[in-house]
Copies of this chain bind each other. A is one copy, B any other.
């Protein structure tokens, strides 16, 4: 293994053929360009023997393509996103694309930084869960003819391709599960983010509550500029004044996590008597006592739809592919926490 980096020119010199020949062979165009089998073999053998790797930076510069797709979510550590990432990656690999993952923490500044970073590096496409304030950045990408597929949510006033679930319906059904479990005072803990998926979940909850002639009971935790301790204390305060409460529906994964922690520490709440439902599933929910019922998004299907659109855009680079919006249904996973509890009176 020699020091430094070998170039295609070095190989041409070593083998006494031109760089063109090398380039053709390495790009699998040997046959097509009628390079002799002997030369092809010579080139292949040699490049393999020295473990030559072409400089993709130069390739990218020359071709204008990077064969890289960016997958940007709130938090790649999140069970839901991590699983989805895997599905997308598998599909991409089959088409010779690599996928780079990153987390925007639902933060506009960070999203922008990441978009810039990858845009400047000429990635071929973006799959993004947009944070609230990056509408214009997305619009710019589209303007520059770069394929973008949003998911989980999108901007209603921006014409983009997107894959989302029917949040209103999913929340409606989940709330009804609690209602069917004979719970009467069902709180909904959500964020105050004015993102469409959050609004949808809230609407679904409200509709179910209304149709059952119950009272809505909503806590909206501000989602900006709060660390988890602050959020937790808001949830704690909310629970403290809820003597009647018998069930809780958490609208996001991290709120569920906070909520379970608080319920655990409050004397007047018994996690085994409370009805609990979470939006988005998590590996720990089945280990928890009681196990936690959850609304699970159809990961496989989402990944496939996202990539179908992305690959199409990538292929039709020049003529602008018409945008496409897909809405999928979520699934309710019933566990212990949403079942009818032991009567208490």
Q: Is the CB of B287 within 8 A of A120?
A: no
- Given contacts A55-B122, A286-B261, whether A144 and B79 have CB atoms under 8 Å apart is no
User: Once bound together, how far apart are the Cα atoms of A1 and B54, in whole Å?
Assistant: 34
Q: Is the CB of A57 within 8 A of B53?
A: no
Residues of A261-310 whose CB lies within 8 A of B: 261, 264, 271, 283-284, 286-289
Looking at the complex, which one of B5, B119, B287 makes contact with A288 (CB distance below 8 Å)? B287
Name which of A17-25, A94-102, A148-156, A193-201 contacts chain B: A94-102
Contact flags (1/0) for A57-97 with B, using CB distance below 8 Å? 11011000010000000011111001000000000000000
Q: Closest 8 A-B residue pairs measured CB to CB?
A: A56-B120, A77-B82, A77-B77, A284-B284, A57-B60, A57-B61, A260-B287, A1-B143
User: Once bound together, how far apart are the Cα atoms of A261 and B1, in whole Å?
Assistant: 48
Given contacts A257-B284, A264-B287, 4 further A-B contacts (CB under 8 A): A57-B61, A76-B101, A260-B287, A261-B287
User: Once bound together, how far apart are the Cα atoms of A257 and B261, in whole Å?
Assistant: 18
Residues of A within 8 A of B (CB): 1, 3-5, 51, 53-58, 60-61, 66, 75-79, 82, 98, 100-102, 116-117, 119-122, 140, 143-145, 257, 260-261, 264, 271, 283-284, 286-289
- Given contacts A3-B144, A76-B77, A78-B77, whether A55 and B120 have CB atoms under 8 Å apart is yes
User: Once bound together, how far apart are the Cα atoms of A286 and B119, in whole Å?
Assistant: 40
Q: Is the CB of A56 within 8 A of B121?
A: yes
User: Once bound together, how far apart are the Cα atoms of A75 and B75, in whole Å?
Assistant: 13
- Given contacts A76-B77, A122-B57, A284-B257, whether A144 and B101 have CB atoms under 8 Å apart is no
Least CB distance, A75 to chain B, in whole angstroms:
8
Q: Is the CB of A1 within 8 A of B120?
A: no
Q: Is the CB of A144 within 8 A of B1?
A: yes
Q: Which of chain B's residues has its CB closest to A261's CB?
A: B287
Q: Which residues of B contact A264 (CB under 8 A)?
A: 287, 289
Q: Is the CB of B4 within 8 A of A144?
A: yes
Q: Is the CB of B53 within 8 A of A119?
A: yes
User: Once bound together, how far apart are the Cα atoms of A140 and B53, in whole Å?
Assistant: 12
Q: Which residues of B contact A271 (CB under 8 A)?
A: 289
Q: Is the CB of B143 within 8 A of A117?
A: no
Q: Which residues of B contact A145 (CB under 8 A)?
A: 3-4
> Which of A4, A283, A287 has the most chain B CB within a 10 Å cutoff?
A287
Q: Which residues of B contact A79 (CB under 8 A)?
A: 77
- Given contacts A76-B101, A261-B286, A284-B284, whether A5 and B57 have CB atoms under 8 Å apart is no
Q: Which of chain B's residues has its CB closest to A122's CB?
A: B57
